[in-house]
């Protein structure tokens, strides 16, 4: 296995290099390439119909050892010693248990010390590694791209394809370079970088492309910040987004349970991955991290965001009629008016969690700002760690008591109010500041209204009970 | 396994003139706790379609009686963005939709739709506008989406060509499914695996 291609002198991007080493069968006569998959992550929501398909065809799972399942979407984040109260969710979870048992797939279910949001546990266990192809029936699979892996979300039919063949039919994607240089100011985070990118390109701006994030501001981020950015690639329409691996990446993987036993050989391979000098991208965009402020969304898709001190745009000033109608509909749903400032607006709920911002570094930053302060009266604050391991670590470090003593709820791990399938949801009309990834209508509960922001902005808002600029609390 | 071959649909249109219709609107997440595909047609666009008390929202297009039986949806740009849930094309098809016309589709939705034989038909913004004007003038106008000839036929002589993935087109026209095709490549896949040892094993640590 060789990550360099001696036949080709043409400079290649990291995506091309990963692609070239994973083509199991080159596409011929108009067919797509057949791409080998190194790791397939499975959860309870998008898999049951795929396992049914295998049974109907009498097929086995081809590579159980390249497959890992967990439960995250529909499970409660309350006391796990109790049975799941929602009968439909309970049935879905037990169906995954049955399927994993029947097909020999390892499962980190409820009660496992490794249970967690699928995009948190892959990196945590060291299963996510540079140069791999990683898929999951979940659009936030791009998270794993932070390690220089080609990772993307798939539908249930494709889940069945991977279970049966450990391959997928895929067309080579286009490449979109996103370069962020300069240094972030205090109080401005990885979340603000990605929300700023989305506000520049819009929610469909990366359709058909893979983002390659680079530049000194990306290099300066830790792995968890890089995961936050790659996670929301899909919010810009890109199925995948990645960061070329470097020493920060290697340090993070080293020593984890599934880190390669032949470490030096792995490093040699991984060091060949970054895009070659002169490799070309189909599109490029760059901006300076030093120009960024804390970002917040005001509308009903993640591209409708702006610096927290800005005012709501006026749909009547827009020339494109469909865009104008979309903004009108968004503002009507959010009950916001053109020209209004969001800063200072009362909020009902703060959600700190999700595969975007629920890792230990997110919780450390949040706790650091919350320490010695208290949640405002009447505001519900939920802190939902991304995995059972993150929860354990946060408790060991004393972060959990900071949250509890400040008046926040400290819960069990899962997707929780990011997707609101498990009973953790907003009531109609409520406003939430959320560290999650989607502010679509009803995403966090029917009629609920979401302001997406960083963990720091979430904490500052929790303390004041109003949408607040975290820089005031530094 | 195979499904019925599909080549064209002729129908009046369900118009939803919004951009960026995400899969959370097409089928809200609370319905994803199902372990099969049943009942999804009733939940299609649920939060736009029903009022808080559960009664049909009379101002939402799907609740207009003349929409029943229509098989073509025309929607604004970037249809199907967001979550990868295949429940979105399943719900559209369960309601009766066979083709969606827009000026662009989110990548995962397009893949999921094609794998189920639901046609995502991308036309230019100008052509989408032309279809919109036509429907404004005659809301019951019938269109034909023809996968074989890769064109939309408008009432009268109008024709709009469209591109579609050639492989997916072949599969849908023949009613073949892609897993069968992948299985036919078993010798090559086995050869690839023999030369590409697994990077990790989830069965043991380290």
Q: Distance (Å) from the C-alpha of residue B18 to the closest C-alpha of chain A?
A: 6
Residue that is written with structure tokens 């369900």 in the block:
B14
pLDDT of residue A2: 45
Beta bridge partners of A211: A176, A241
Tokens matching residue A313: 């745009």
Q: Tell me the DSSP string of A152-213.
A: EE--HHHHHHHHHHSEEEEPPPEEEEEEEES-PPTT--HHHHHHHHHHHH-TTTTTTEEEEE
Say whether B29 and A438 touch across the interface (CB within 8 A).
no
Q: Could you count the other beta carbons within 10 Å of the beta carbon of residue B157?
A: 6
CB < 8 Å to B93, chain A: none
CB < 8 Å to B165, chain A: 32, 171
pLDDT < 70 regions, chain A: 1-8
Dist. CA A94–CA A75, nearest whole Å: 11
Determine the angle formed by the axes of helices B87-95 and B107-115, rounding to 10 degrees.
50
Angle at A189 between CA A185 and CA A192, to 5 degrees: 105
pLDDT < 50 regions, chain B: 206
CB < 8 Å to B200, chain A: 38-39, 66, 126-127, 129, 132, 258, 260
Q: Distance (Å) from the C-alpha of residue B176 to the closest C-alpha of chain A?
A: 14
- Choose the mutation target among A1, A18, A24 for the interface with B, i.e. most B CBs under 10 Å: A24
Q: Is the pTM of this model over 0.80?
A: yes
pLDDT of residue B3: 78
Point out the residue among B104, B108, B111 whose CB comes nearest to the CB of A204: B104
B151 and B160 Cβ atoms separated by less than 8 Å:
yes
Measured CA distances, A443 to A35, A49, A135, A435, B83 (Å): 33, 23, 23, 13, 11
B151 touches chain A (CB under 8 A): no
CB < 8 Å to A438, chain B: 22, 24, 82-83
Q: Distance (Å) from the C-alpha of residue B187 to the closest C-alpha of chain A?
A: 10
pLDDT of residue B205: 62
CB < 8 Å to B195, chain A: 1
* Residue A104 Ramachandran class (φ > 0 left, ψ -120 to 50 alpha, else beta): left
pLDDT of residue A8: 57
Point out the residue among B29, B86, B179 whose CB comes nearest to the CB of A419: B29
CB < 8 Å to A239, chain B: 107-108
B156 touches chain A (CB under 8 A): no
B41 touches chain A (CB under 8 A): no
**What's phi and psi for B25, nearest 5 deg?**
-80, -40
Nearest residue on chain A to B75, alpha-carbon basis: A322
Which of B:73-92 have CB within 8 Å of A? 76-78, 81-86, 89
Nearest residue on chain B to A422, alpha-carbon basis: B30
Say whether A63 and B189 touch across the interface (CB within 8 A).
no
Say whether A157 and B178 touch across the interface (CB within 8 A).
yes
Dist. CA A343–CA A310, nearest whole Å: 8
Widest Cα–Cα separation across chain B:
67
């Amino acid at each position: 296995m060789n990550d360099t291609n001696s036949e080709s002198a043409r400079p290649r991007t990291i995506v091309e290099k990963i692609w070239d080493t994973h083509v199991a069968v080159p596409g011929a006569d108009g067919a797509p390439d057949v791409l080998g998959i190194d790791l397939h992550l499975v959860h309870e929501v998008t898999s049951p119909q795929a396992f049914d398909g295998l049974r109907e065809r009498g097929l086995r799972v081809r590579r159980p050892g390249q497959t890992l399942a967990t439960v995250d979407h529909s499970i409660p984040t309350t006391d796990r010693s109790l049975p799941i109260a929602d009968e439909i969710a309970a049935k879905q979870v037990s169906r995954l248990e049955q399927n994993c048992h029947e097909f020999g797939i390892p499962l980190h279910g409820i009660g496992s010390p490794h249970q967690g949001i699928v995009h948190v546990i892959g990196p945590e266990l060291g299963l996510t590694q540079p140069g791999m192809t990683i898929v999951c029936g979940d659009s936030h699979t791009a998270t794993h791209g932070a390690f220089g892996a080609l990772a993307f979300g798939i539908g249930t039919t494709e889940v069945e394809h991977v279970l049966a063949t450990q391959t997928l039919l895929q067309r080579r994607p286009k490449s979109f370079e996103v370069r962020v240089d300069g240094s972030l100011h205090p109080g401005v985070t990885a979340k603000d970088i990605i929300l700023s990118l989305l506000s520049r390109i819009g929610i469909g701006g990366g359709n058909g492309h893979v983002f390659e994030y680079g530049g000194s501001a990306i290099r300066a981020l830790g792995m968890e910040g890089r995961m936050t950015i790659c996670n929301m690639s899909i919010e810009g329409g890109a199925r995948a987004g990645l960061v070329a691996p470097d020493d920060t990446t290697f340090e993070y993987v080293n020593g984890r349970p599934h880190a390669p036993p032949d470490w030096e050989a792995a490093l040699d391979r991984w060091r060949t991955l970054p895009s070659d000098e002169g490799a070309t991208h189909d599109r490029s965009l760059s901006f300076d991290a030093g120009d960024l402020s804390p970002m917040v969304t005001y509308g009903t898709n993640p591209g409708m965001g702006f610096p927290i001190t800005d005012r709501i745009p006026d749909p009547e000033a827009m020339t494109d009629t469909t865009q104008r109608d979309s903004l009108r509909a968004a503002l009507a749903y959010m009950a916001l008016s053109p020209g209004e400032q969001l800063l200072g607006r009362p909020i009902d709920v703060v959600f700190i969690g999700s595969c975007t911002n629920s890792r230990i570094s997110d919780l450390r930053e949040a706790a650091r700002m919350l320490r010695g302060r208290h949640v405002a009266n009447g505001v519900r604050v939920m802190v939902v760690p991304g995995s059972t391991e993150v929860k354990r670590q946060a408790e060991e470090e004393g972060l959990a008591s900071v949250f509890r003593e400040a008046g926040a709820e400290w819960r069990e791990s899962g997707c929780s109010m990011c997707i609101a399938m498990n009973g953790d949801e907003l009531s109609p009309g409520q406003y939430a500041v959320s560290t999650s990834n989607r502010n679509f209508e009803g995403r966090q509960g029917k009629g609920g209204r979401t302001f997406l922001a960083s963990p720091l902005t979430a904490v500052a808002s929790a303390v004041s009970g109003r949408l607040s600029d975290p820089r005031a609390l530094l | 396994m195979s499904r019925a071959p599909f080549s064209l649909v002729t129908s009046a249109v369900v118009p939803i003139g919004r951009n960026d219709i995400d899969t959370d609107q097409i089928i809200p997440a609370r319905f994803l706790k199902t372990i099969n595909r049943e009942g999804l047609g009733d939940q299609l666009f649920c939060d736009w379609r029903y009022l808080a008390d559960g009664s049909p929202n009379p101002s939402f297009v799907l609740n207009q009686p003349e929409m029943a039986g229509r098989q073509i949806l025309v929607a604004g740009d970037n249809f199907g963005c967001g979550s990868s849930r295949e429940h979105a094309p399943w719900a559209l098809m369960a309601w009766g939709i066979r083709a969606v016309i827009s000026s662009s589709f989110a990548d995962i939705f397009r893949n999921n739709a094609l794998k189920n034989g639901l046609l995502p038909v991308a036309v230019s913004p100008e052509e989408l506008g032309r279809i919109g004007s036509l429907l404004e003038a005659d809301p019951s106008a019938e269109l034909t989406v023809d996968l074989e000839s890769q064109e939309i036929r408008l009432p009268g002589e109008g024709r709009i060509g469209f591109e579609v993935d050639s492989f997916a087109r072949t599969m849908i026209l023949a009613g073949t499914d892609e897993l069968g095709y992948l299985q036919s490549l078993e010798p090559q896949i086995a050869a690839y695996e023999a030369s590409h040892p697994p990077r990790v094993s989830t069965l043991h640590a380290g």
